[in-house]
Amino acid sequence: MGIGLPSFLTVMTSSASSPAVVHAQAAAHAAPSQLTLSLPADIVQSKPQIVFNTEDGTSTVPFKDTLQVPPGTKSFSVQSPRGDSGAIPLTSPKMSLRAKPDSWYSFKYAIGVNGAKPQTLVPEGP
């Protein structure tokens, strides 16, 4: 017990300064003021809406190749009749999304799930 106590105290005091470091890293990654977004052609033809998630709520705009990003934006999502995305962190001024087929779409459609869409949009990358 006596040997474990100094180790416990070291862990407790070293983690006390961690929130300041995390806060500094978050501040360094501010959202860009413009977003160049690339979507699959069938999604673009379905007239998608881009939803920016800001500190004050949400802001929805029609899709364009280059979008103005509202101040305080943390993430965005895409909504369209063909497929939606989840919340995507806004980490770069240029982003590209790809459509991933929903393997459960036929089943959802058959049982009458409202709002079932054939695709899900995900960021391109590894």
Residue 94 resides in a domain: yes
Rounded to 5 degrees, what are φ and ψ at 53? Answer: -95, 110
Q: What is the pLDDT along the chain (126 residues), one digit of tens a residue?
A: 455 445 444 444 444 443 333 332 333 345 678 999 999 999 999 999 999 999 999 999 999 999 999 999 999 999 999 999 999 999 899 999 999 998 888 898 899 887 778 899 999 975
Residue 100 resides in a domain: yes
What is the C-alpha to C-alpha distance for residues 122 and 78, in angstroms, rounded to an integer? 10
Residue 88 resides in a domain: yes
pLDDT at site 109: 85
pLDDT at site 21: 32
Residue 2 resides in a domain: no
Residue 86 resides in a domain: yes
pLDDT at site 32: 77
pLDDT at site 22: 31
Structural domain for 104, as ranges: 30-123
What is the C-alpha to C-alpha distance for residues 125 and 104, in angstroms, rounded to an integer? 23
Residue 6 resides in a domain: no
Q: In terms of residues, how long is the chain?
A: 126
Domain total of the chain: 1
Residue 21 resides in a domain: no
pLDDT at site 28: 37
pTM of the model: 0.69
pLDDT at site 14: 42
pLDDT at site 97: 95
Residue 11 resides in a domain: no
**Which helix (H) or strand (E) segment is 44 a member of?**
helix 41-45
